[in-house]
């Protein structure tokens, strides 16, 4: 795997490998830490999510510094397309076949990142309603939808109103049944989710 510097998309200056120290900035360090890379090329790296919310949960990170969705414009469409394509290539041979590829409307981590997440949601790290709703409501913005938004509007629409989606009732992502709590939901998913 080759070594690459993180480059600031605005000035083209290399980013430091050090983070500001806050957990929300941890992805910047992950781009530079080759021991975490599942895939790497000149434009992006793919890592396993440190706290996966499903059997397979990858993060696709650009090597240019893009803080969040608000920083995107039409010039980023080729990079976003490549991020999706590499994630789809990586996940095609996984034992779970159903995946979603997208972005959190309001991410908790600095540095833009695409989630590639299997739809089994079989993970001990999936613990809260917030976790669940961040991947199963419109809070999770599909990669293709985001690219179409940029093509149509040249920017990402304001998504601040999406934060309320995190507190919605728990619903099965397959049958849409309302479930009372996370342990019951996790049991329900094991019988409801069919990977075919």
3-class DSSP string for 66-134 = CCCHHHCCHHHHHHHHHHHHHHHHHHCCCCCCCEEEEEECCCCCCCCCEEEEECCCCCCCCCCHHHHHH
| Phi, psi angle pair for 87, to nearest 5° | -65, -45
Give 111's contacts (C-beta < 8 A, 6+ positions apart). 25, 27, 28, 31, 61, 62, 65, 66, 67
Q: Are 80 and 143 in contact (CB under 8 A)?
A: yes
Token look-up 């939901």 returns 185
- Is 115 known to be catalytic? no
Please report which helix (H) or strand (E) contains residue 196, including its range.
Answer: none
Give the active site residue among 113, 115, 144, 162: 113
Q: What letter does residue 191 receive in the DSSP assignment?
A: H
Token look-up 């397959």 returns 174
Please give the positions annotated as active site.
113
């Amino acid at each position: 795997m080759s070594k690459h510097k993180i480059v600031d998309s605005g000035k083209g200056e290399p980013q430091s490998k050090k983070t500001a120290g806050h957990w929300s900035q941890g992805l910047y360090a992950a781009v530079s830490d080759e021991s975490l890379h599942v895939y790497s090329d000149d434009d992006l790296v793919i890592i396993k999510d440190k706290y996966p919310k499903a059997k397979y949960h990858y993060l696709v990170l650009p090597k240019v510094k893009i803080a969040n969705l608000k920083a995107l414009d039409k010039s980023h469409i080729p990079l976003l397309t490549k991020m999706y394509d590499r994630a789809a290539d990586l996940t095609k041979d996984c034992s779970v076949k159903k995946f979603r590829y997208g972005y959190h409307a309001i991410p908790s981590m600095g540095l833009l990142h695409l989630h590639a997440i299997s739809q089994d949601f079989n993970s001990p790290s999936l613990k809260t309603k917030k976790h669940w709703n961040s991947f199963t409501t419109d809070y999770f913005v599909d990669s293709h939808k985001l690219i179409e938004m940029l093509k149509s509007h040249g920017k990402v629409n304001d998504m601040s109103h999406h934060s309320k989606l995190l507190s919605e009732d728990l619903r099965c992502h397959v049958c849409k049944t309302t479930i009372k709590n996370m342990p019951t939901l996790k049991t329900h998913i094991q019988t409801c989710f069919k990977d075919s």
